[in-house]
Amino acid sequence: MIRACDVDDLPDGEAVRLLAHVPISVFHTEGQYFAIDDTCSHQDASLADGWVEGCFVECPLHAASFDLRTGQPTCLPAKRPVRTYPVVVSDGAIYVDTAVAQEAIA
């Protein structure tokens, strides 16, 4: 588990980037937390810099959208999914289990 930040430091609608074996972005949206690969599967944009709406994040570079729950792209130009990671909230902090990357479910 890697500590991402305090719960109080990640307001709803925001994201934080952390460095693990790969960059991972952690999102807080509608009271839930999600962690996915930070690098867009289309090119090299950081998804933590994207726009969150509901359970989706829109890439800031070419506007591909990814489902934060599954990692699946929901529109072009991205065609490949990003991995998702389990998130645990404990004692006021957010942790990501970076050892348990989950490939997107088709």
| Residue written as token pair 């726009």 | 51
Contacts of 28 (CB under 8 A, 6+ apart): 10, 11, 12, 13, 14, 15
At 11, give phi and psi (nearest 5°). -65, 160
- Interaction of residue 43 with ligand FES, rule CB under 6 A: yes
**Closest approach of Cβ 82 to ligand FES, in Å?**
10
- Interaction of residue 77 with ligand FES, rule CB under 6 A: yes
**Closest approach of Cβ 56 to ligand FES, in Å?**
13
User: What is d(CA 90, CA 2) in angstroms, rounded to the nearest whole number?
Assistant: 12
Stretch that binds ligand FES, among 8-16, 21-29, 36-44, 91-99 (CB under 6 A): 36-44
- Interaction of residue 40 with ligand FES, rule CB under 6 A: yes
